[in-house]
Structure 1
Amino acid sequence: MIAKELHDKTPDQLRDELVNLKKEAFNLRFQQATGQLENPARLRTVKRDVARVKTVLNQKAAAAATDA
């Protein structure tokens, strides 16, 4: 996921993306705990994508606060 793509989305779309990523992270953690995780690197990329989405959401909120 590229940060530029995230900047083009609305806050509602970003929140939906965040929910989807958190569900995926949960499923990956569950697979890791049961020993069924095929690609351990995917867990790291999902965590980073969650952080990217949160960062963009916070930036948009800060920009909206300064505009108001």
Structure 2
Amino acid sequence: MKMVALRDMTRDELEQKRREMLEELFNLNMRKTMKELDNPLKLRTLRRDIARIETLLSEDKLNIRKIVEAPVSILDQAKAKSSSGPAEKSE
């Protein structure tokens, strides 16, 4: 994956993608030990993609570069306003 595409993802998306890639890497390593791996280059590209994601997550953690937050829709904003409004007193 390109860094540009990764930078457009939110933190949750990056963490989910990282988990998926780690699971795929585990499966590919198992296939490699059983000599059933068709494309050995896939291991290298997968490891590098995982490193890119971890770099972005650590940059955000160290406040070097912030990860884009999920856009808040108009409906979510309306729900937040209605639920956080002051309660009216009835006399």
Q: Measure how far apart 1:45 and its partner are.
A: 0.3
Corresponding residue for residue 43 of structure 1: 43
Moved over 4 A (4+): none
Corresponding residue for residue 3 of structure 1: 3
Q: Residue by residue, what CA displacement relative to the aligned partner does 1:23-58 show, whole Å, maximum 9, x if unpaired?
A: 110010000000100000000000000000000111
**Aligned 1:1-68 pairs, distance under 5 A:** 1-63=1-63
Q: Distance in 2 between matches of 1:24 and 1:35?
A: 16
More helix by share: 1
Residues matched between the structures, number: 64
Q: Unpaired segments of 5 or more residues in structure 2?
A: 65-91
Q: CA RMSD in A?
A: 1.2
Q: Distance in 1 between matches of 2:39 and 2:55?
A: 26
TM-score by length of 2: 0.67
Q: Which has the larger radius of gyration?
A: 2
Matched residue of 2:20: which SS? helix
Matched residue of 2:5: which SS? helix
Q: Distance in 2 between matches of 1:13 and 1:62?
A: 19
Percent identity, please. Answer: 34
